[in-house]
Amino acid sequence: MTQIQPITTESLQQAKRLIFSGEVVAIPTETVYGLGGNAFDDNAVKKIFEVKGRPNDNPLIAHVHKDYDLSRIVDYDPPYAQKLREAFLPGPLTLVYPSTGKVSPFVSCGLNTLAVRVPSHEGAQAFLREVGIPIVAPSANLSRHVSPTSAKHVFDDFEGKIPLILDGGECTGGIESTVCDCTGAYPVILRSGLVTKEMLAEVVGKCGEYTPDLSRGEKVKSPGVLYKHYAPRCKTLLFSEKNAKNAISAYVSQSLENKGVAVLCAEKWIEEFEKVGAKCLNLGKNQAEMAQRLYKLLREAERLCEVLIVVEPSEQGGIMTGVLNRLRKACTSEDVEKK
Ligand code: TXA
Ligand code: MG
């Protein structure tokens, strides 16, 4: 049986008991919910991979409370990483360091680095303080499904498969943390998110962005970036704003018999698309709203329609880099048009 509990002294103690008996427990964070286990326990780490169906070459992030002594798990801490922590942590930024190798070898899948995150969500902090150890936690979704932004989303994917979900309400961030490599001379973004390249560069002067060049047989730094991800269980067709209107009209007229078509678009398009009879999901009117709503709406689309027409916002940079990255990965190869 899977329990959903609000965060109280009792539920935190229950979560602690489960973690120290090798179980996995779902926890809220400000980005998305995570599926947490004891980072020192090989079997707990293996269980996380099993229950998610996660490929075993995709490393996990270790989560710690804000006063945790990093030197236990991090071997080298460059001065710029300290600046980044001061500026952005606790918060949606994960830093990758050379590892001391103290956590289970299954956490980093053979890499000699460790990704560490200090979430700002109060419930997450309370839980991490209660257990006092690093907790590895991938997003609490079945592998390749849409990431969860509520306890209900986690329940939908893992009912009967995990004992406890700590319910910390809806996630305010909505997309996963920015992952930033801190093993070189300057920070390099491996996965974009709510802490943007512009924000990082402002604090430390220089910030790179990693795109694997597989044609040169390069070893991938962050295997997770390769996988198709975040996909809802309905067909998804991605259009540029320029071509969306015609496509939507065509689909809406077809769908008189098949009413399973919906449109996911920015707020400014809703009126226009509703005029041609489309059922619309409102992504919002600014970058932060779009990040916060994206996964929730992709999960809603699964229930609402068979075909989701996604209108890609034309805005670029800032948080949109992360939002567009998720949106493109959520859409299948049947995309009618990419810009
Ligand atoms: O916001 C988040 O980061 C959420 C919440 C639960 O904290 N967690 C999350 O975990 O998104 P997950 O497992 O879905 O994504 C972890 C990402 C993957 O792309 C993985 O490849 C990368 O971080 N990663 C983990 N350890 C790494 C390492 N040592 N070096 C490079 N990349 C790493
Ligand atoms: Mg994930």
Ordered domains of the chain (ranges, CATH):
3-216 (3.90.870.10), 235-330 (3.40.50.11030)
Indicate if ligand 1 lies below 6 Å from the C-beta of 176: yes
pLDDT of residue 245: 84
Residue-wise pLDDT for 150-163, tens only, equals: 999 999 999 999 99
Q: What confidence tens digit (pLDDT) does each residue in 6-37 have?
A: 999 999 999 999 999 999 999 999 999 999 99
For ligand 2, a single-atom ion, the residues with CB < 5 A are: 139
> How far, in Å, is the centroid of ligand 1 from the Cα of 19?
20
Confidence at residue 336, expressed as pLDDT on a 0 to 100 scale: 47
**Quick one: which atom of ligand 1 is closest to the CA of 117?**
7
Residue 222 CB less than 6 A away from ligand 1 = yes
The torsion region of residue 216 among left (phi > 0), alpha (psi -120 to 50) and beta comes to: alpha
8 A C-beta contact, residue 205 and residue 103: no
Statement: residue 213 has pLDDT above 80 = no
Pick the residue with more confidence: 256 or 124?
Answer: 124
The answer to whether 175 and 291 are in contact (CB under 8 A) is yes
pTM for this predicted structure: 0.94
pLDDT by residue (tens digit) across 225-261?
A: 555 667 898 889 899 998 888 888 888 777 655 558 8
At which residue do the structure tokens 């910390």 appear? Answer: 168
Specify the DSSP class assigned to residue 281. E
- Ligand 1 touching residue 179 (CB < 6 A): yes
The closest residue, in CA terms, to atom 10 on ligand 1 is 138
Arithmetic mean of pLDDT over the chain: 92
For residue 228, the model assigns a pLDDT of 61
Mean pLDDT of 308-316: 92
In whole angstroms, give the CA distance from residue 279 to residue 307. 11
139 lines ligand 1 (CB under 6 A): yes
246 Cα to the center of ligand 1, angstroms = 38
pLDDT at 253: 76
Atom of ligand 1 minimally distant from the CA of 191: 19
